[in-house]
Structure formats: structure tokens, C-alpha cells
Structure 1
Amino acid sequence: MRRLVFIPGPGIGHLVSTVEIAKQLAARDHQLFITVLIMKLPFEQLFTNTDASISRRINFINLPEAHVDTQNTGPSSFFKTFVENHKTHVRAAVSESSTQSESNQARLAGLVVDMFCTTMIDVADEFGVPSYVFFTSNAGCLAFLLHLQTLRDEHGTDAAQLMDSEAELAIPSFVNSLPAHVLPGVLLDKEGATAFLNHAKRFRETKGILVNTFSELESRALHSLSDGKTPPVYPVGPLLNLESDDFHVGTDKARQKYDILRWLDDQPSLSVVFLCFGSMGSFGEAQVKEMACALEYGGFRFLWSLRKPPPKGEIAMPSDYAVPKGVLPEGFLDRTARIGKVIGWAPQVAILAHPAIGGFVSHCGWNSVLESLWHGVPIATWPMYSEQQLNTFELVKELGLAVEIKMDYRKGSEVVVSAEEIGRGIRKVMEKDSDIRERVKEMSVKSKKALVDGGSSHSSLGCFIDQIQL
């Protein structure tokens, strides 16, 4: 018997896919026990589903909270300090789980660390066990990071200097040249770029990299990673939580979900565009009004998850508006009542699965991309932060699986996307007989086949299980 310890990155998006791969591993290998160590962000709810309801061989441990100032600090500094401050707690938890595992004769087989938690590789080294990376984004992004890290460390190229240039970069994982203006926003500043590429450098120290993707989706990117310089890469996706939209949905959210799905039941097939921008997505009032104008003047049936931005300068999650009409054009809700619905929190998976949904205006977070592809819903891209601009480039230019509203939008910028641009993108994504819709349907079938016995991701996960048995 063996035990793996997973250390997911802070944030529900990273935790969801970690739980899914833990479930798959436990289902495939009955000699494997898994411990998941959870770091709670100060502005997120506590992960509460920590009992045996998922699997009796998966154990969840909420680590003690590490207090970090959320004001007057940049995201890169905050996350680096946040993870570093958990190192002592992780060391203690691994030690305790190793002691406990001796009683049930399960040896510690390794640590699986999140892509942003590479400092925990040190803990694996201390315990004399292998470390693996769980890369929660896509293979294109992984190959891109490793390429930039090589350019920095072997050729002295400073990625931060490229951001405001008109340069187009040749990246092995992409057919098309990559415009500098779609590089991840973290590369905008030297500190962020250094931290980001230092993570990539440490990936190379591990025994393998698990990636939440599948071969049929990113064949070129995955092939580019078979270069002899990168640890074995295991595409094991799509890893999706299709049963529930939130680990801690309470009675109020259950009622909201019922109300939303009942409204969708009254809409024609493929008639509704769904607008949702992830757990951290929100817009200022000027942009909200342009979005409202696009929806109203275009006459689109819509379901819009509209969130209130956190206070300026504070690292926090968006919240629901008590009264959303205050930020919308006067009379908008009344004029669109027959064809539209404005909501706050959204049960995204259940919405994307509904037959009334014909298109998805998304921030292109990788979990959202995989959910949309799984359900065969084409995306109109509106990236905001992290690697989402890069995801947008890959979806639109490389794979032909999305339409562009904006490719280089960045949250917090002064740019206001016009109603005309938004309307044009929505109109295109809602075309019922488009080539993009057809390609998305085909990829939906392939995403499901990848996970069944004999599928590409099923086989890849089997190879990883064989690796940890050595």
C-alpha cells in the first residue's frame, strides 16, 4: 500500500481539479491512500467536504491559517508569502500522515504539488520521496513557461521587457507566432516574471508533471514537451467536478440554482448566451453598462452572472450585488425581463449542461474552458487575469474552438470594450450552424472518450500509477 500527499494551490479552481484527480486515482488503485492538504485563502470559505463521502481512502486536512496582509501588496508577493508561510504546517502534516500510514502499512510514495507551490518540493526532498507537479492549466501554457524559463536561464532574455512590445514570439508548442500582448499578466513586472519562471525551473526537478488536458485537444503542445529536457508529462484531463458547482452550496444557493434552471427550462434550445467570468471576475460600472447595451440592442436571450468588484487595492473575491440595477442602465431589467436574467453566483456546470445554452462569454479560465468543451458549448473569449490571454490565443488561433471578443483584455486596465465589439462576438458565438460549433461538438465527444477505459487520459493516468509503484 502507498500514500500520496497532494498540496493544491490556494483557490477553489485549483482545489476542484485536485479533488477530481484524487478521486480518479483512488478509483483506479485500491492500494493507494491520498491525503489532500488544504491552504485556505483569507477571503475564501473553508473547504468543508473533508469527510469520507468522496472516498474512504482520501483524507482532507485543513491546514492552520497563515495570516498574510491582503492590503497594500501585489498578487505575486501575496501568493508567494502565503504559500511559504504554510511550509511548516505542510511539513508537520506530511510527518503526521507518514506516522499514521505506518499503522496501515502504506508507505509515503511522493508529494504532488500544485504548479504554484513548487517550494513544497523541498519538503519532499526532506522526506526522501519523489515530487510531482500537478499543472492545473493546459499543456500549451506549460510548454510556454518552460520555453521562457529556458530563454531566461540560458540566453538571458527578460520576459518582462517583451510585454509592451510589438514582438511576435516563436513558441514550440504553437503553430502561430505568439503576440507579446497576450503574454500572462504576471510577466508585466519583474518580480512576478521571476516568480513565475522560477516555478517552471523547479518543475524540471520533479519525477513527472500531471496536466489537466487530453491528447486529442493539445497534441502539438504535448509533443513539444517530449524533448528529453522535461520530466514525463501525463495528460490526465479533463478533470471536472460534474456533480456539483460548489463544495459548500447551502440552502440559499440551492434555491438560486433551482430558480435559474427553471428559468432556462422555459427558453428554446441553444437560444441563451451565458456570461460568467469565474470566481474572481468582475467589471467596473462603465464596462457593465456597455455589456448591458450589447445584450439589449442585440436582442439576445441571456443569463448574466454579474458580480460586484472588491474594494479598490484589496485582494478579495467579488460578491453579489444587493441591488444590481444600480450599476445597470436605467430601466434595463424591466426592458429585458422577457428574454434575460441577471444573477449573482452561478451554478456554472449545471448551466452549461442545460440544452437552452447556445454560447458562453467566458474569462477562459482553464476549468471553465474544459467544462464548456465537455458540454459542447462554444466560447466567446474575454480573458481577465493569470494565463487567460494565453488560453484565449490557443483556443481562437491554434485550435479554432472559440470566437474572440477580446484577446488581450486585462482586469484593472482602463480599457472599456464597446457594446459593438461585445455584440459582434456574441452574435458569432450564437450561430447555430457554424464551423466552430461543429468543432466544439467533436471535441466534446473526444473529451469524454479520453477518460474511459482505453482512452488517452485513462492510459496516461495508468502510466502515472505504474510510476508511483516503483
Structure 2
Amino acid sequence: MKTTATAEVVFIPFPGMGHLVSTVEMAKQLVGRDQRLSITVLIMKRPFDNSKVSSSTQSLLLTAAEDRLKFVYLPQDEAAAAELQSKYPVNFMSEFIKMNKRHVRDHVTKMVSTESTRIAGFVMDVFCTPMMDVAAEFGVPSYVFFTSNASVLSLMFHFETLKRDENGVLTELKESDGELAVPVFENPVPLKALPFPNKEVGPMFMGIAKRLRETKGIIVNTFEELESNAVRFLAEDDKIPPLYPVGPVIHLVKEDNEEEEEAMKIIRWLDNQPPASVVFLCFGSMGSFEGDQLMEIAKALEQSGHRFLWSVRRPPPMGKREIPGEYQDLNQVLPKGFLERTTEIGKVIGWAPQVAVLSHKAVGGFMSHCGWNSILESLWCGVPVAAWPMYAEQPTNAFQLVRELGLAVEIKLDYKKDFGSASANVLVTAEEIETGIQKLMVSGNEYGKDIKKRVKKMSEKSKVALIEGGSSYNYIGLLIEDFKKNI
């Protein structure tokens, strides 16, 4: 028997896999908690994206639909998107979001044309704040779903309050070896780990922070027990809207999709490995390396002697920030004979079913780019991380994991992935990589033992946060009550 919902919430995710998946999971949690709530997710298809990663995401969305959770794909205009990309090469995605405001307006107009639909609010991704204007047109409040963590959110607000010239100085110093004391962290942050990378993108983040202050609430994919300092910092500032730390919001349900057979081959290989013996290398939906770096990773893996599962992705064409693809022949990019020599202990793959792998008892360590979703997944599964951040807020995440929380070992915290030029990337040596692997995987290493203990403890806390009476469970309840007050 269908239950009539009394409050409709419009979700607007950013069209990137990491953002889209966690937004869908957040929507599922909300409708699962209250029968009087329904959610419509308005999906913008990422332009020029036909990758396997994208198709996997679409499959996840299609299988998630239920009575009070609807997905609507907004109209596409590839020609207009191409024109925007040529006109705004740096800020293309922000302009793409603005272009979709009219599509959101048109669909919401249809929704409210029926007397039964009462919209309680818009929940938009942090990169979709221009949609706040559309929400205001309909007289409903805006909330932001922040798919990264509370510490990065705190830094955004902290830098937004600095004078404009101070922000400029920070941008100039970012490539130096200096450090900066910020309220949210106990240790000074290396300037290279700041999440706002350059003069072009920095002002965009500051603009987003200003708009966040206009929202009715900020939903953050974290939990109090993990980021107590940041949650307290944000809660004590009366100029920042109410905070709802509701995480970990991660996709744990197995879905049927076209990669299922490929995933099963990977899991069967893991089934034949000893417990906690495999280091898993995976660098996210945008993660890829050029040939020289692949050679160094392969050399490190072979020298370490540890079992490994390595997700290798083909970089996009030079200068294009597209989702990496698959290699047709791995022998062309890996050392001669590497696959044959390591066939007994290693497996090199393309796409990886990350949560399924991290959940497997054979996996004892995770070499990661430190995207926030990946961090939450590794903590949930109790797998310690070797941190190798690449871009955006990942260096800040890695700094927090390694230096602040002691939940990861370091590979290279100041690595920078330059999407425009391969020559701009720092080469991380096989020796540096192997050192990180040994710290992570060698059972007699006290440093690694301490990290494993802390990760296990945080894994338990992450699960408690989501059950009845847990911190995130309670915040979700408060958020739902706030939605209902709006109507």
C-alpha cells in the first residue's frame, strides 16, 4: 500500500560520480526514515562522458528508484555545452550548472502545478549553489549537501573571512614549503596541502562559501566522532548555518550491472589470497598516471614482494579533464615481463568494484588518492590507507588522515596532478612508494600496527554513528524535522 508523502524535497547533485552516488545514498536514507517525505533527484548528465564509470553510475541510479524516490534526467544540449567549454575552459562546469537553471525551473514548475506537491526545500551539491536562485523563485529554502568533509568546509569559511589581499598572498605562497596555522587543525597545514589551488579557482571557492552562509542548513558527509574539532568549529560560529553531519554516506549495496562478471573475477581472485595480505591500489574515477609513473609503481610493487590488486586507468588526451578510460594492452605501459613475473601474487585490472574489494578479508591496505568517499569507505571497512593525493581537496584530506588523525601512512602528500601537462607532475619514486607499502603491510611494523588499531576503532564508531541513537542518526532526524517545518 502506497503512503502519501506530505513533503517533497528536490535534490540537485553535481554530475560527477563521487558526488552523484553519495547524493543518491543520502536521498535513500531520508526517504527510508520518514514515510511522509518524498524526493525528486534532478540529474544533469556530465557533458561528453561515455565512460564505463558513468554507465556504472547510471545503473546504480536506475536500481535505486522506489515509490518516494524519483530520478529525472534534465534535457541535454551537447552543442551548447561545447560552446561553453570553449568559452570557459577553466570554469566550464560552473557555467554548465548555470546553464541548467532553466531546466530545473521548468521541471519544478511542473511539479508545483499539482496541488498535492508541497516543496519543503532544495538540497543541492556545493558546486550547484547557483540553483539557490531557482529555489528562491519558488519561495522555498535551500540546503547544501557537502560531499567532502567538515574540515575542508571549515577551511572554506576561514579563508572566506580573510581579507582579499591575504587570500592573494596564500595563493602566491601555495607552491612554497611554508606552513599555515588554521583554527580547525591542531598541526600547521603545509601550504601545498591547501584545497584552493590557484588564482582562477580560488575565488570560485570563496564565492561558494559566501553563498553557503545564505542556506538554511549544510548537510556534511562526515560524522562527529571522526571530525570533532571541525564540527565544533562550525557549530560555534553563529554566522554559519546549522550543520548536519550525517555520514558516512556510502554505497554499500551490491547492484546488478554490466560489470558484474568482471567484478566476480576480481572477488574470486581475492578469495584465493590469505587474510589481510593484499594491498589494493585505486585512485578514483579521475585517477590515472602517465607511463613513467606507472613504471615506478610497478617497480615498487615487485620489489615489495606483497600481494597486490592494482587498478590501472588510461589518462585522457593531453589538456582534457575527461574521465580516464581502459588500456587495451597493459604490456605497452608496464615494465617488460612484469605481468608474467608477478602472476602468482598480483592482479592488474581496469575498473574496480571498490567497496566490494575493501570489504574483502584478503585486503590489508589501500593505496588511495584520498577522495573523501574513498576515505569513508576504507574506514567503514577497517582498511588502513597509504595516502597519495592528486588534486582539489585531496591533499587536505591526506594531511588530516596522516598528520591529524594517525589513520594513514604517507606516500606523497604534496603530489599534484596537473591535467594540462604531464611534464608538470612530480615523479614519485619506486623507493618512496615501496616505503609506504612496507609501513602499511608489514605485520611487525609498530607504526603500521598503531594505525591499524586506530582504523579498526574508527570503523566501529562509523557504524555506531548510523544506528538508532548514534550521532549521524540523530542529525538526520533533526534535518527531516526541519524539512517538515518548511511546509
TM-score tier after normalising by the smaller chain length: over 0.9
- Aligned to 1:111, the other structure's residue is in SS state strand
- Aligned to 1:443, the other structure's residue is in SS state helix
Distance 1:57 1:159 in 2: 46
TM-score by length of 1: 0.94
Q: Is 2:88–2:95's contact at 8 Å kept on the other side of the alignment? A: no
1:375 to 374, 381, 401: 381
TM-score by length of 2: 0.91
- Aligned to 1:191, the other structure's residue is in SS state coil
CA shift for structure 1 position 50:
5.3
CA shift for structure 1 position 86:
0.8
* Mapping 1:206-355, distance limit 5 Å: 206-226=215-235, 227-244=237-254, 249-250=257-258, 253-355=259-361
- Aligned to 1:408, the other structure's residue is in SS state coil
Point out the more displaced range, 406-415 or 261-270: 406-415
Distance change in 2, residues 1:445/1:50 (3 Å): closer
Partner of 1:439: 454
Q: Is 2:370–2:389's contact at 8 Å kept on the other side of the alignment? A: yes
* Mapping 1:96-245, distance limit 5 Å: 96-100=110-114, 102=115, 105-152=116-163, 158-184=169-195, 187-226=196-235, 227-244=237-254
2:474 to 456, 459, 465: 459
Point out the more displaced range, 89-98 or 324-333: 89-98
CA shift for structure 1 position 77:
1.3
Distance 1:357 1:52 in 2: 28
Look up the equivalent residue of 1:220 and give its one-letter code: N
Distance 1:214 1:394 in 2: 15
* Mapping 1:45-64, distance limit 5 Å: 45=54, 47-48=58-59, 53-64=64-75
Partner of 1:34: 39
CA shift for structure 1 position 123:
0.7
Point out the more displaced range, 309-318 or 345-354: 309-318
Distance change in 2, residues 1:30/1:3 (3 Å): same
Partner of 1:84: 98
CA shift for structure 1 position 410:
1.0
Distance 2:312 2:105 in 1: 40
Distance change in 2, residues 1:154/1:29 (3 Å): farther
Q: Is 1:26–1:55's contact at 8 Å kept on the other side of the alignment? A: no
Distance 1:92 1:301 in 2: 53
Point out the more displaced range, 15-24 or 71-80: 71-80
Q: Is 2:7–2:118's contact at 8 Å kept on the other side of the alignment? A: yes
Q: What CA deviation, in whole Å up to 9, does each residue of 1:282-321 have, x standing for no partner? A: 0000000000000001111000000000111122111111
Q: Is 1:52–1:59's contact at 8 Å kept on the other side of the alignment? A: no
Q: Is 2:24–2:61's contact at 8 Å kept on the other side of the alignment? A: no
Distance 1:52 1:410 in 2: 36
Look up the equivalent residue of 2:442 and give its one-letter code: E
Look up the equivalent residue of 2:92 and give its one-letter code: F
Where structure 2 has 5 or more consecutive residues not aligned to the other structure, the ranges are: 1-5, 419-423
Distance 1:228 1:288 in 2: 48
Distance change in 2, residues 1:315/1:72 (3 Å): farther
- Aligned to 2:113, the other structure's residue is in SS state helix
Look up the equivalent residue of 1:324 and give its one-letter code: L
Q: What CA deviation, in whole Å up to 9, does each residue of 1:209-231 have, x standing for no partner? A: 00000000000010000211100
Q: Is 2:366–2:386's contact at 8 Å kept on the other side of the alignment? A: yes
Q: What CA deviation, in whole Å up to 9, does each residue of 1:41-71 have, x standing for no partner? A: 1215463555585321011001112432387
Q: Is 1:98–1:107's contact at 8 Å kept on the other side of the alignment? A: yes
Distance change in 2, residues 1:338/1:314 (3 Å): same
Partner of 1:429: 440
CA shift for structure 1 position 154:
9.6
- Aligned to 2:308, the other structure's residue is in SS state strand
Q: What CA deviation, in whole Å up to 9, does each residue of 1:102-147 have, x standing for no partner? A: 2xx2411110110111111111111111000100000000001111
Distance 1:51 1:14 in 2: 16
Distance 1:112 1:419 in 2: 44
Point out the more displaced range, 438-447 or 37-46: 37-46
- What is the percentage of aligned positions where both structures have the same residue? 54
CA shift for structure 1 position 76:
3.9
Q: Is 2:59–2:257's contact at 8 Å kept on the other side of the alignment? A: no
Q: Is 2:415–2:425's contact at 8 Å kept on the other side of the alignment? A: no
Partner of 1:384: 390
Count of aligned pairs between the two proteins: 461
RMSD: 1.8
Point out the more displaced range, 150-159 or 406-415: 150-159
Where structure 1 has 5 or more consecutive residues not aligned to the other structure, the ranges are: none
CA shift for structure 1 position 80:
1.2
